Amino acid sequence: MSLLPRAIVIGSDHAGFALKEELRAFLASRFADIPVEDVGCYSPDRVDYPTYGQLVASKVSKDATELVPSTLGIVVCGSGIGISIAANKVEGVRCALAHDHYSGKMSRMHNNANVLALGGRITGVDVAKEIVEAFVTTPFEGGRHADRVALIHGIEKQQESTC
């Protein structure tokens, strides 16, 4: 069984557009066997980040309970903060904002993050590529970390039952 995802979904707002385009090209060259779906935006014209955070997260959430997600997501806005908040509103999504290789790796290894958020205005292209490489290639460690991810899922379920 491959530990690499079967698909990657990527999206951004206008502030993350340039970095998203760089990452889309990087993914196509580095992971040619993994299809990448770009859900937008498709130009640097102003758009709202919650739309694209939700689009990516909705596609990833379909298999969010799997220990080895078949689909990973990448979202980019100016800082990475707003789009990560939006993505995390979708049930089953564990979106991690990463600023370096280590945080990209640990988000997968310990948190089984299934969406990566990056800041297009604060993360350089080469650093972003290193983060994406770590995020895509690092497997979830499981064990005690699986128990913690289950606790996170339990919080979601509690919220659903109180609504």
Enumerate the active-site residues.
77, 110
In the block, residue with structure tokens 């988000």:
107
Burial of 141 per CB tally in 10 Å (0-12, 13-18, 19+): middle
Asked if the peptide bond before residue 41 counts as cis, ω within 30 degrees of 0, the response is yes
Question: What is the β-pairing status of strands 7-12 and 36-38?
Answer: parallel
